[in-house]
A = this chain, B = another copy of it.
Amino acid sequence: VRRGYPEAVYCEGKSPEQVRAIAERVGGRPDVTTIFTRADADRAQAVLAALPDAFHDPVARLLVWPPRMPEPTGELVVVACAGTSDLPVAREALLTARHLGRRAELVVDVGIAGVHRTLAKVDLLRSAGAIVVVAGMDGALPGLIAGLVSCAVVAIPTSVGYGAAFGGLAPLLTMLNACAPGVGVVNIDNGYGGGHLAAQIAAPR
């Protein structure tokens, strides 16, 4: 692995038994931080059976072992989203950035349909070294924010929405076509990847 970054275990395609076997191997390597992503209740149980002291955030469906949080270095990462529905992905990004060693803050209740609430947060947004913007449905928020700041924006489309949202395709395309430059897009619902990329951008030099 590349120096300084944790390992990751993607739990979704694996059985609880497979996850537990991996967690047991992880327990023998306390010098490396391992992040378990997309762990539902059953898979989280499997990790905790092998690593009872692991850090666990059920909303983000994320576990980390060893559970220690690194001392923050580099610049601030801000994670922004519109509301409750996008929270799992937003928290996954937030916690990933923190476990990669960044200071990270969450901003909710900003959005394109209520632009004044977004404008009210401009000072915080401008203080960041990298901003993660999580959005489903129309996916317009990253472009709005990218037009207000100078740092890079990492855009995460989510599968929140229905019908012509087509499982996240609509916000994905919106973000790839953002009118303001400065937006880099990751996979739909990929909170881990978005938080990781933001942490790399905001890393100390």
Contacts and interface: CB of A to CB of B under 8 A. Distances in A.
A16 interface: no
A204 B129 CA distance: 11
B84 A160 contact: no
B148 A115 contact: yes
10 contacts: A14-B84, A112-B147, A113-B143, A144-B144, A150-B203, A152-B197, A162-B187, A164-B188, A173-B174, A183-B186
A179 B12 contact: no
Interface in A128-153: 129, 137-140, 143-144, 146-152
Given A114-B147, A115-B148, A205-B205, A173 B164 contact: yes
Given A140-B138, A186-B184, A173 B170 contact: yes
A8 B177 contact: no
A192 B181 CA distance: 8
A90 interface: no
A164 B176 contact: yes
Interface string A172-203: 11111111111111111110110011001101
A187 B13 CA distance: 19
**Those 10 A-B pairs whose CB atoms lie nearest each other, nearest first:** A184-B184, A163-B188, A140-B140, A13-B85, A113-B180, A170-B173, A113-B147, A181-B196, A113-B179, A164-B176
Contacts of A146: 113
Contact of A177 (B82, B137, B148, B200): B137
A162 to B, nearest CB: 6
A108 to B, nearest CB: 13
A185 B185 CA distance: 5
